[in-house]
């Protein structure tokens, strides 16, 4: 009997990206899961720590989430004491986000775990392949950003 023909889906970029996402989430959960932080919560906390005083809408744009999902993420981070909402000094109708001391400590504790996740995902690639792969991912994301239900709006340099 001749060998089975590989299923063409295993050569389709969309399928492979979905599989890599599943692997990424599984790896994140295995390394970080005991902390109770999800990869999306980590992204939000990291972004808030890097840009204190960010409003929730801008955060949603930077991490490419819709605003209602972002609100839930912030609610969970706030309930664990990692983030606080404050009134904006510029516009009292706007609430801005700040990482708390506890949130910054949590982020510091998470950094080596998240680095280990990245290393586990990328270990099969040489350093050059890793750089090339990241450059290609960035190019694909940038070129297709507007196709997302929640396109990201990157931070502008100050």
DSSP-assigned letters across all residues of 14-46: HHHHHHHHHHHHHHHHHHHGGGT--HHHHHHHH
> Is 82 in a helix, a strand, or coil?
coil
* 11, part of any domain: no
Tell me the whole-structure pTM to 2 decimals. 0.88
* 10, part of any domain: no
Domain count, the chain: 1
* 51, part of any domain: yes
Q: State how far Cα 116 lies from the chain centre.
A: 15
User: Which residue in the block uniquely carries the two structure tokens 């910054």?
Assistant: 104
CATH code of 38's domain? 1.10.10.10
Chunked mean pLDDT (size 10), the chain, 158 residues:
74 94 96 95 97 94 94 97 93 92 98 97 98 97 92 75
144 exposure class (CB count in 10 Å sphere: 0-12, 13-18, 19+): exposed
């Amino acid at each position: 009997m001749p060998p089975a023909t590989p299923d063409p889906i295993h050569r389709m970029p969309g399928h492979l990206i979905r599989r890599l996402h599943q692997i990424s989430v599984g790896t994140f959960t295995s390394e970080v899961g005991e902390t109770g932080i999800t990869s999306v919560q980590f992204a939000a906390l990291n972004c808030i720590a890097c840009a204190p005083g960010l409003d929730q809408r801008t955060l949603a744009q930077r991490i490419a989430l819709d605003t209602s999902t972002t609100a839930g993420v912030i609610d969970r981070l706030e309930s664990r004491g990692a983030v606080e909402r404050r009134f904006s000094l510029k516009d009292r109708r706007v609430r801005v986000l700040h990482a708390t001391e506890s949130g910054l400590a949590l982020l510091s504790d998470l950094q080596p775990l998240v680095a280990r996740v990245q290393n586990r995902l990328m270990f099969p690639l040489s350093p050059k392949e890793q750089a090339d792969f990241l450059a290609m991912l960035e190019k694909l994301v940038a070129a297709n950003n507007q196709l997302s239900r929640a396109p990201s709006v990157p931070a502008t340099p100050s």
